[in-house]
Amino acid sequence: MTEKIGNVNLGQYTLGASFCRQIYKHRSACFYVSKDIQFSTINVDQYNKEKDLEICALKLCLLSSSFTIICIYRTPTGSLKYFLNQLESILKNCIKHRLN
């Protein structure tokens, strides 16, 4: 599935960040960004655990501001405890890096 997302051509948009399941079927998440907007992908691979927490993230740079955008998903059968613990860690890291 990862290869398929990378091969999608949306004209003036480029793939910014993505997550694709490797074990379970159906579901992926991605961001496409206009080619005239600067961005960087944020590596959140260490948090991904299929069905429990599926995430991708990027930082957009617009004019003199930057924005962190996160796409996050948990299936209804996924571990809520794992999801909440990792979400807290992710948000703390975002704040820490933002303040530095």
Q: 30-69: per-residue pLDDT in tens?
A: 788 888 889 888 888 889 888 888 888 888 888 888 888 8
The arithmetic mean of pLDDT across residues 7-34, rounded, is 75
Question: Which pLDDT belongs to residue 79?
Answer: 93
| Main-chain phi, psi angles of 92, to 5 degrees | -60, -40
Q: Quote the domain boundaries for residue 7.
A: 2-99
If one counts the domains in the chain, the total is 1
Question: Which pLDDT belongs to residue 100?
Answer: 43
Helix or strand holding residue 17 (H, E): strand 13-20
97 vs 100: CA distance, rounded Å: 5
Task: Determine the Cα angle at 77 with ends 24 and 52, to 5°.
Answer: 65
* For residue 98, pLDDT beyond 80: no
Helical segments of 10-79, H only: none
* For residue 2, pLDDT beyond 50: no
60 vs 76: CA distance, rounded Å: 30
33 vs 38: CA distance, rounded Å: 9
One-letter amino acid at 22 equals: Q
